[in-house]
Amino acid sequence: MSDKPSFFAELKRRNVYKVAVAYAVVAWLLIQIATQVLPFFEIPNWGVRLVVLLIAVGFPIALVIAWAFELTPEGIKRTEDVDPAVETRAKSHAWIYVAIVAALMSIGLFFLGRFTASTKQNPSVAETIPAAIPEKSIAVLPFENLSDDKQNAFFTDGVQDEILTDLAKVADLKVISRTSVMQYKNTASRNLREIGQQLGVAHLLEGSVQRAANRVRVNAQLIDARTDAHLWAQTYDRDLADVFAIQSEIAQTIAEQLQARLSPREQAAIAQAPTTDLVAYDLYMRARALDDLANDPGAKESLLQAISLLEEAVRRDPNFALAYCLLCEAHLDLYWGGFDHSSARREQANAALQQAERIQPDAGEVHVQKGVYAYHGFRDYDRARAEFELARRALPNSSRLHLDIGAVDRRQARWEDALRNFDRAVELDPRNFLILEEAAFTDAGLRRAAEAASLLERALALAPKDIFVRTVLWQLPYDSRADTKPWRSHLNTILEEGKEAASHVAPVFVYCALAERDRNAAADALTLIPAEGAVNSGDGSLWPRDWYVGLVARSFGDNAGAQSAFTAARIIAAKTALEQPDYAPAWKTLGAIDAGLARKADAITEGKHACELLPLSKDAWDGPSYVTNLALIYAWVGERNLALEQLATSAKIPVGVTYGELKLSPVWDSLRNDPLFQGILNSLAPK
C-alpha cells in the first residue's frame, strides 16, 4: 500500500478547500458591491460586468496559487520545497474571520439592494423624500374655520393665504405655494411628518380662525415637521379690523423663528395690507377661486363671473391693487383662450393694469401682471421676460412666476431654461396639478417620453380621475413608438365611465380610431363630439364638429360625406376668422377645411397666413403645429414636394410631428410611398 496521500487529502493539506471557500465568500461580497453600490454612483453597466468577469477569472488562478505555493514562517515557498512531514504553517483562523465578515457584508448589501430596487419601483416613495430639505423651509397649511357661520370659509382661507404670501416674499426662505398646501384642508387626518416629506420642507405652520361679530381670534403654531416638535404658538384675539395686522405679525414672527434674513424691502412688503375693506377682500378671494378654472374648456362663464366680483371689489376699495391685477388677468384669460380674442377685451385688461400700476408701481404682483399682459396680449416675450425678472426679486418663492417664465422660454425655444424653470416651479409647488401637467407637456414636446410619463403619473396621483392627463399619458407610446394598444386600452376605460366623461377628450378617440384604421371605432368616436365642436389638442382651439365628421369620411374614402361635412364646417370657421382676423387658430382651421374641399388656392393662402400670424420665430411652442397643418394642406391639395418640405421642418423641431402620427395616421397616405417621406419617418423612429 502506497504512503502517498490521496489527491483530496493533498487538497486539504495544501489549504485549497479553505482558499476556495474564502474566495467564494469574498467574491460574493464583491459582486454585491458591483451590483448594488456601483450603480448608486452611476457607474455604467460595463463597469459592473468587468468586475464580475475579473472575479470569475480570478477564482481558478487563486486555486492554482493555493496548490503551488505555501505560506511558511520563512515566507512563501513552492509546495515541492516544503517537507510535508514538518508542520510549517502557522495555526491561523484569519481566513474564517474574513469569510464571516464578508458574508455579513454581503447580506447587508443584498438587502440594501432590495430596498433600493423597491424604492425605484415605487415612485411615490422616491418623490416624497427630497434629497435635502432646507432648514429654512416652510409650508403654511390651511387654517381651520372655527366660526359658527361656515360662510366664513373664504375669510379663513384669506388669513392663511396672506401669511403664506407674506412669507413667500422672503428670499432667505423656501415657501411652498398655495395650490400644494390647499390639499391638506382636512386637519383631522394630517400626518405632519408625511406632509413635510411630501412638500420638501422642514417646518409647518397651522392654525385656526374664529370670527364672531366684530372680533376675530387667530391661533397659529409652528411645528418642526421632522420631529413633530412645537417650536412656537400664539393666539391673537382682536378687533376684526386688525386681521391684516395679525397676519403680518405672524409672518414676521415665523421669519424670525426660522432665522431668516429680512431686507428692508421685504419687511415693508410684509407690513403692507392688501386692502382695508374685508368685504372687498372676500370678493377678491371668491374671484380668484373662479379664475383658477381658466384652463377648463368651459371657463368663459367662470371668468365673466370673476370679473363681476372684482369690479365690485374695486368699487368698494379703489386702491385694491391685487384686485386690479386679478381683473387684468381674467380679461387676458378670455382674450388668450380665444373666448373673446378682441382688441376691446385686451384694452379692458390694460385699463385694470394701469390702475394697479398707479397704486403700487413697484409691487411684484404688478410686474407679474405687466409681464403676462405683454405675453398674452402681444406675444412680446422680451418685454414679458424683463417684467418677470423684476417680479422675481420681490416674489422669490412664486411658483406661478417660474411657470410663466418657463412658458415664455418655450415660446422662444429656450428649452434648457424652460426645463429648469419648470423644475423650480415643481419644487415650490410639488402638488400643483397644473404645474406638473405643464412640466410634463414640455418634456413630451421635447420627445422625452419617459420624463413626461413620470410627471404625468405624479399629476394623476393628485387627480386620478383627470381624463385629459390620463389620455396624454397613454398617448405617449403612440407618439414615440407608434404603439396604439395602451392608448386604446385606456380610452376604452374612459368610455366605460360614461359618454359625458369621454366627450371631454372626444377628438383623441377619433385620432386613435384613424390610426387603427377602424371605421366602426371612428363612427363611435364621432358620437362623442359635442355639437359646439371640440378642442384640438394641437393648439387648444375649438374646431367645428363637422370638421371631425369630414376627416373621418375622407379617411375612409367617403368623398361625398366629406364634402358635405367640410362645407358645413367652413361656415363656422369662416365666421370666426372674419370676427377675429388676427387669431391664428381660426385661419389654421379654415385652411385645413378648405384643403378638404379642394379649394386649393384658398387653403394654401389661409394655411400660410396662419403661419405668418404665428411663425416659429414668434412661437416655438404653438408654431410647429401650424407648420404641420400647412404640410397637411399641401398634401391634400396635391403639392407633394411642398408638403414634404414642411414635414421635414416639423420633424426636426420640438413639438413637431410625431413618429406615431407619420407612421399610422391616414392623413399622410398620399405621401407614404415617397422615399423622402420614409426618410423623415425614419428620422423620428425610436432609437
Give the pLDDT band of residue 399 (cuts 50, 70, 90): very high
Residue 671: its pLDDT value, please? 97
**Domain 279-395 listed as CATH 1.25.40.10:** yes
How far, in Å, CA of 493 to CA of 477, rounded? 17
**Which residues lie below 8 Å from residue 24, measured CB to CB, with a gap of 6+?**
59
Give the pLDDT band of residue 43 (cuts 50, 70, 90): very low
Q: Which amino acid is at 253?
A: T
pLDDT surpassing 50 at residue 389: yes
How far, in Å, CA of 182 to CA of 142, rounded? 6
Residue 414's CB is within 10 A of a number of other CB atoms, namely: 18
**Between 495 and 537, where is the model more confident?**
495
**Which residues lie below 8 Å from residue 170, measured CB to CB, with a gap of 6+?**
255, 260, 262, 266, 270, 396, 397
Do residues 460 and 469 touch, judged by C-beta distance below 8 A?
yes
Pick from 41, 214, 35, 226: nearest CA to 129? 226
* Domain ranges for the chain: 7-121, 137-272, 279-395, 485-684
The helix or strand, by DSSP H or E, that contains position 216, with its residue range, turns out to be: strand 215-224
Three-state DSSP state, 178: helix
Do residues 19 and 70 touch, judged by C-beta distance below 8 A?
no
**Between 115 and 610, where is the model more confident?**
610
Give the pLDDT band of residue 14 (cuts 50, 70, 90): low
**Residues 567-613: pLDDT tens digits?**
999 999 999 999 989 999 999 999 999 999 999 999 999 999 999 99
Residue 79: its pLDDT value, please? 60
Question: Hey, what's the torsion of the CAs at 458, 462, 468, 469, to 10 degrees?
Answer: 0
Q: What is the pTM of this model?
A: 0.75
Question: Measuring CA to CA, how many Å separate 455 from each of 451, 487, 527?
Answer: 7, 18, 32
**Between 114 and 250, where is the model more confident?**
250
**Residues 490-529: pLDDT tens digits?**
999 999 998 888 988 999 999 999 999 999 999 999 999 9
Three-state DSSP state, 186: coil
3-class SS string, 598-614? CCHHHHHHHHHHHHHHC
Residue 155: its pLDDT value, please? 86
**Between 661 and 214, where is the model more confident?**
661
Residue found by looking up cell 413639438 in the block: 655
Pick from 583, 500, 592: nearest CA to 546? 592
The helix or strand, by DSSP H or E, that contains position 221, with its residue range, turns out to be: strand 215-224
Question: Measuring CA to CA, how many Å separate 503 from each of 479, 508, 539?
Answer: 22, 10, 18
Residue found by looking up cell 377678491 in the block: 284
Phi first, then psi, for residue 508 (nearest 5°) are: -65, -35
Phi first, then psi, for residue 564 (nearest 5°) are: -65, -45
Cα 28 → chain centroid:
42
Residue 540: its pLDDT value, please? 73
Burial of 51 (0-12, 13-18, 19+ CB in 10 A): middle
Beta-bridged to residue 237, according to DSSP, are 217
Give the pLDDT band of residue 623 (cuts 50, 70, 90): very high
Q: How confident is the model over 412-416, as a mean pLDDT? A: 96
Cα 55 → chain centroid:
44
DSSP state of 77: E
From the candidate CATH numbers 3.30.70, 1.10.10, 1.25.40, 1.10.3470, the one assigned to the domain spanning 485-684: 1.25.40
Pick from 506, 431, 498, 435: nearest CA to 465? 498
**Residues 635-654: pLDDT tens digits?**
999 999 999 999 999 999 99
Same fold, 137-272 and 279-395: no
CATH T-level fold of 137-272: Rossmann fold (3.40.50)
